[in-house]
Amino acid sequence: MEDKFSKIVSLCKRRGFIFPSSEIYGGIGGFYDFGPLGVEMKRNIKDLWWKEMIQNHENIVGLDASIIMSPKVWQASGHLTAGFADTLLECKKCHKRFRKDEIKQNKCPECGGKLTKPRKFNLMMKTFVGPVEEEASLTYLRAETCQGIYMNFKNVLNTMRLKLPFGICQIGKSFRNEINPKNFIFRTREFEQMELQWFCHPKEAKKWFEFWKKERLKWYESLGLKKKNLRAKEIPAKERAHYAKRQVDIEYRFPFGWGEIEGVHNRGDWDLSNHAKHSGEDLRYFDETKKEKYFPYIIETSIGVERSLFAFLCDAFEEIPGGRTKTTKATKEVEILLKLHKKLAPIKVAVLPLVRNKRELVKKAKEVYKLVKPHFVSQYDEIGSIGRRYRRQDEIATVVSVTVDFQTLKDNTVTCRDRDTMTQIRVKIQNLVEVIKKILEGEKVFKV
């Protein structure tokens, strides 16, 4: 399984999904840049999640809060106390640092040296606001996006005239000074979150917790993650986050083992009551029907965008020894197929002239590319043999490959090739956009 991990990391770099940040200067631990394909896939994940929350559910609105907030926010939320700290151990010999939960024996896993005594290490990243680095201007990059939602709870409630239960969702960057970033983009210091904060009556919290847990598992399965690679892990009280009355981690079976991709939490009234106490602002909800005032309970679903992207890549990655075409002779060559869900695939359509040394074919292929590009994220490729180009598109998950050949010049039709089955059909150019739309919407256009 470790071999699969290294192959996926290699594919991401080689094909433009993910690059190490600041690589020409030797890189910087825990930070990554998303290349042309990675940024498209990331955008697809975020768009699909946003549509799921805002359009497919009732009473949910969006927000985009500031990354930097008053440091008083983090004091009230508990992030500046031991509640948001990892236990750090350092090797006395090689000076590498580790989280306590990573150490199986009382010695360095790298060199075998002795370790220091455990000490708490706060994960908040400091920064300064204003021209002078003085204590008064000290603040923090946010460690989670949800606090910005709580800061705006009253604003949203008043401006949108919402009634419980309702939700506020947000997508945005968060920063944590991780002791030991590892496993590629699974544990990083800069990451993106997609969070829903669902506000409800305390007596209904249990019902809504179960509802959102099921909805979130269903979402991953609808986008192709295999059920056998997903699980909902109940977290015992002593291991929960400091704010959680109940916590379930949705985990994916990565090549390195099970890892959390989303958390579902019952945060109770921890956040709103604490911010009300520290700010002096009344953040209770007034129920006009029942004439009662109370702090709503919050059911939170919090996803790491990078972690879910990594899970989708792992689940879609396949290797086919000897290639997939019937004409391929038995060789040691291994073809990679990235079988991403159509909605997640970064490139939807590739346009390929059969050969590039025939001017009329190239000209026609570029006309076809110009036709489809406004409708779909597309790629034009004329380098190498047609078989090699098909394989290049397969390994970046391109859904449909459109080939312009000599028959195209006679009857204005092109060949459409399905990524997963390699089935081909002839389509009139004038109908091409409509046919591709049907393919992407899941209609059975290709007959196997």
User: 255 and 390: one domain?
Assistant: no
Same domain, 258 and 352: no
Same domain for 308 and 397, yes or no, is: no
What tokens does 346 get?
């970064």
- Alpha-carbon span 116 to 228, nearest angstrom: 40
Res. 156: pLDDT tops 60: yes
Same domain, 181 and 238: yes
Q: Are residues 268 and 142 in the same domain?
A: yes
Residue 448 confidence (pLDDT): 59
In a domain, 424, yes or no: yes
Residue 298 shares a structural domain with residue 217:
yes
CA distance 354 to 6: 33
* 167 and 298 inside one domain: yes
The answer as to whether 297 is a domain residue is yes
Predicted pLDDT of residue 332: 67
Domain boundary, last residue among 313, 335, 363: 313
Q: What's 255-303 look like in SS3?
A: CCEEEEEEEEEEEECHHHHHHHHHHCCCCCEEECCCCEEECCEEEEEEE
Q: In this structure, is residue 85 part of a structural domain?
A: no
Residue 261 has pLDDT above 80, yes or no: yes
Residues 159, 276, single domain; the answer is yes
Model confidence at 299: pLDDT above 50: yes
State phi, psi for 2 to the nearest 5 degrees.
Answer: -65, -30
Task: Give the strands of the sheet with 246-254, arranged side by side.
Answer: 60-63, 166-175, 190-200, 297-304, 257-268, 246-254, 230-234
Least Cα distance to 345 among 24, 65, 144, 44 occurs for 44
Q: Nearest CA to 414 among 359, 365, 377?
A: 365
- 353/294 same-domain check: no
Rg (C-alpha) for the chain, rounded Å, is 26
Task: Provide the pLDDT for residue 2.
Answer: 61
What is the pLDDT of the chain when averaged over all its residues? 93
Domain match, 265 and 368 both: no
In a domain, 99, yes or no: no
How high is the pLDDT of residue 83? 57
DSSP result, 305-327: HHHHHHHHHHHHEEEEET-S-TT
Rounded distance between C-alpha atoms, residue 216 and residue 212, angstroms: 6
| Cβ count near 93 (within 10 Å) | 14
Of 73-82, 99-108, 253-262, which gets the smallest average pLDDT?
99-108
Residue at 195 is within a domain: yes
How many C-beta neighbours within 10 Å does residue 26 have?
7
Pairing of strands 334-338, 413-418: unpaired
**pLDDT tens, position by position, 200-254:** 999 999 999 999 999 999 999 999 999 999 999 999 999 998 889 999 999 999 9
Residue at 72 is within a domain: no
Amino acid at 242: H
The domain total for the chain is 2
Q: Which two tokens stand for residue 172?
A: 């945005």
Q: CA geometry: angle at 227 spanning 2 and 238, to 5°? A: 75
Asked whether residue 272 falls in the same domain as residue 354, the answer is no
Nearest CA-CA partner of 397 in 6, 50, 34, 16: 16
CATH number at residue 143: 3.30.930.10
From 313, 339, 365, give the residue that closes a domain: 313
Calpha distance 431→442 (Å, rounded): 17
Residue 265 phi/psi, 5° resolution?
-125, 140
Predicted TM-score (pTM) of the model is 0.92
For residue 448, tell me if it sits in a domain. no
Last-in-domain residue among 313, 329, 364: 313
pLDDT band of 86, cuts 50, 70, 90: low
Residue-level pLDDT at 328? 47
Question: Which tens digits make up the pLDDT trace of 336-388?
Answer: 999 999 999 999 999 999 999 999 999 999 999 999 999 999 999 999 999 99
The pLDDT-based confidence of 14 (bands split at 50, 70, 90) is very high
- The answer to whether residues 238 and 191 belong to one domain is yes
Q: Which domain holds residue 383?
A: 347-440
Lowest mean pLDDT among 134-148, 178-192, 211-225, 355-369: 134-148
**Is residue 342 in a domain?**
no
- What whole-number percentage of the chain has pLDDT above 70? 96
d(CA 401, CA 350): 5
| 431: CATH | 3.40.50.800
